[in-house]
Amino acid sequence: MSESNISIYREHETAGRYSRAQQFGKSRFNTYLFHLACEKFLLHKLIQLPILAQCNDRKGGAAQPASLIKCIKDLEQHKKSPQYLAAVRRSQRRGDEHRRLSKQIWHETQKHAKGAKLSQQAKDCHYSDLNAADKKILEDYDCGRLSSSLRQLQSLKTMSYKGIGASVQGS
């Protein structure tokens, strides 16, 4: 934990809020685990290198430990590797597809809501006041085409979880 988080944790402890302190510490640890799980390279390096033991050793002064410097250099090399660059391209493509689908779903939801509103207006005998585009939306809503197209788009949207399972795949 960072120094600011440690001070918050200790404040909870000294005030006698032990369960709050425990929850705070657990949430920070879960965040740490999430970041580790999403960064496979970093996880492998933390397993390989004894960085923490060297960082806690205050004899060396302010100099950075050799294993930390090696880890930083290895990370820079890893980010230039073809596998990493391909993974970045795949991730960007997936993100673009998700944004397009989300936008389509949003537009279809808006059309569906407008169809429901127009349907209510038509029931109140205001059908003649509608223009051609609104009449088309009303017809699609009444026939169920808007509902089915919205359901179809929502079925295409899959929940993507990029946790531990995602970092294990392809290793």
CA distance 55 to 94: 38
Q: What is the mean pLDDT of the chain?
A: 76
Q: Is the pLDDT of residue 24 over 80?
A: yes
Which range has the worst mean pLDDT, 40-49, 74-83, 115-124, 158-167? 158-167
Q: Which of 84-88, 101-105, 122-126, 155-159 has the lowest mean pLDDT?
A: 155-159
pLDDT at 32: 74
25-35 average pLDDT score: 78
pLDDT in tens, 61-100: 555 667 777 777 887 888 888 888 888 787 777 666 667 7
Q: How far apart are CA 68 and CA 120, in angstroms?
A: 67
H-type helices in the chain, by residue range?
3-14, 18-38, 40-48, 51-56, 66-80, 82-123, 132-143, 145-156, 164-168
Q: pLDDT-based confidence at 107, cuts 50/70/90?
A: confident
pLDDT-derived band at 167, boundaries 50, 70, 90: very low
**Quick one: pLDDT at residue 165?**
47
pLDDT class of 170 with cuts at 50, 70, 90? very low
What residue segments make up the domains of the chain, in order of their start? 3-80, 84-159
The pTM of the full predicted model, rounded to 2 decimals, is 0.38
Exposure class string for 48-68: b at 16+ Cβ within 10 A, else e: ebebeeeeeeeeeeeeebebe
What distance in Å separates the CA atoms of residue 133 and residue 118, rounded to the nearest whole number? 11
